[in-house]
Amino acid sequence: MAEFKHVTVLLHEAVKGLAIDPNGIYVDATLGGGGHSSLIASRLKSGRLYSFDQDQTAIDYNRQHLQNVIAAGRVVLIKDNFRHLKAALANHGVTSISGIVYDLGVSSPQFDDAARGFSYQHDAPLDMRMNQQQQLSAKEVVNEWPYQRLEKILYRYGEERFAPQIARNIERHRQHQFIETTGELAEIVKEAIPAAARRHGGHPAKKSFQAIRIAVNDELGALEESLEQALDLLQVGGRISVITFQSLEDRLVKTIFHEKSSLPNLPQGLPVIPAGMQPHFKLVNKKPVLPTPAELEANHRAHSAKLRVIERIKKN
C-alpha cells in the first residue's frame, strides 16, 4: 500500500493534554494517518484505544501501520463518523472513556489526492466526500442546491463576503452546462470576485471550497453532536483534546467548552456556591495551545492550528 503521508500537527501537545492513564479507555475520533493513535497506544498497558475514521483509505492504511498494537489488543479500528460515537462504542461494550482526541478538518492525503476533489489546486471531479460511500457530494451541492442555500453556506461556512455574487455566478453557469470539476468551479468563483479583492488573501476559491466541503460532510453538525456525546461519556479526571484548523470549528469548540466549564447564573449575594450548582468540567488551558515556531517552519499546514483541552471534574 502507498505511504499515507500526513504530518500530525500538535501531536505531543494533544496527547499530553489527555494525561494518559496506561490502563484507561481512549478514543481517537479522527484516525487519519494514525499519528495520535500510534502515540496513545505506545502509552497504554492494559488500556485500550478505539480509533474512528469514516474514510476507508485511512482504515486500510492503519490496519498495516498499527498492525502490532491491533494484534496486541490495544487498538480497535472503527469505520464510522464520529457523530455516532456513543452507539459505535456501545457496540464494543464501552460506556465511559478516559479521554478522546479530535484532529479536525481534512487530512493531508485527502487534500493531496486530486481524485478526491477537495482542492482548488488540482482539476478533478467535484467530490469532497470524506466518506466515499455517502450519496451527497460537491457535485450535487454545486449543481442542484438553490441560490439561497448556496449563498447561505458560502457566507456561513466560508465567511465569504462575496457569497451573493459567487452563488449567482454558479447559478448562471449551471443553467448552460453541468459543473463537473474543481477547476471549473474555481474559475467560476474567481470571476465572481472583483479583481481588486483577488489581489490579496490567498486563492480566491479557498473560502468557497471550504464552505462546500463543510456542507457536503456536515462537519460542524457532526462535531457538535460528537462533542456532546464525548463529554457525557467522559469519566471524572478524563479529558478531551481538540485540534481545530479554522475559525468556525474553533468557535464551536470554545463555546461548548466555555458553557460546560462555567457556573450557571446564580442569584447575587450567595455566600457559598451550592455543591450541585458547581460546573462538571474545567478548562485545562484557558487559552488555546498553538504550534511552536519550529513546527510552523516544518509544516505549513500547522499555521491555523489551535488546541483546546477540557477535563471532567465531577459527575452528575
Asked if 11-103+219-312 and 119-217 have one fold, the answer is: no
**172, 189 in Cβ contact below 8 A?**
no
Helix axes 11-18 and 35-42, enclosed angle (nearest 10): 50
**Averaged pLDDT, 240-254:** 96
Residue 306's nearest CA partner among 249, 261, 238 is: 249
Alpha carbon distance 139, 291 (integer Å)? 35
Residue 170 pLDDT more than 90? yes
Task: Encode 236-260 in three state secondary structure.
Answer: EEEEEEEEECCHHHHHHHHHHHHHH
**Averaged pLDDT, 299-308:** 91
* pLDDT tier at 1, thresholds 50, 70, 90: very low
Alpha carbon distance 210, 158 (integer Å)? 6
Q: Grid cell 457530494 — which residue?
A: 137
Query: What one-character DSSP code corresponds to residue 263?
Result: P
Residue 243 pLDDT more than 60? yes
* CA dihedral sign, ordered 67, 72, 74, 79: positive
Alpha carbon distance 37, 49 (integer Å)? 7
Helix axes 206-217 and 147-158, enclosed angle (nearest 10): 110
CATH of the domain spanning 119-217: 1.10.150.170
**Averaged pLDDT, 157-165:** 95
* pLDDT tier at 90, thresholds 50, 70, 90: very high
Query: What is the topology classification, in CATH, of domain 11-103+219-312?
Result: Rossmann fold (3.40.50)
Q: Is 32 left (phi over 0), alpha (psi -120 to 50) or beta?
A: left
Alpha carbon distance 153, 304 (integer Å)? 21
What letter represents residue 235's amino acid? Q
Residue 47 pLDDT more than 60? yes
- 3 state SS of 52: strand
Alpha carbon distance 43, 22 (integer Å)? 6
What letter represents residue 199's amino acid? R
Residue 279's nearest CA partner among 263, 295, 256 is: 263
φ and ψ of 109, to 5 deg = -60, -35
**How confident is the model at residue 80, as a pLDDT?**
96
Domain boundaries of the chain, sorted by first residue? 11-103+219-312, 119-217
**Averaged pLDDT, 253-279:** 76
Helix (H) or strand (E) holding 79: strand 75-79
Length of the chain: 316
**Averaged pLDDT, 156-176:** 96
Average pLDDT, the chain: 91
Q: Grid cell 477547476 — which residue?
A: 183
Residue 305's nearest CA partner among 232, 251, 246 is: 246
The residues, any chain, with a CB within 8 Å of residue 297's CB and separated by 6 or more, are: none
- 3 state SS of 135: coil
Side-chain half-sphere CA neighbours of 226 within 13 A: 30
What are the residue ranges of helices labelled H in the chain? Answer: 11-18, 35-42, 56-65, 67-71, 85-90, 108-112, 138-144, 147-158, 163-174, 182-192, 195-198, 206-217, 219-233, 247-261, 293-298
**How confident is the model at residue 179, as a pLDDT?**
97
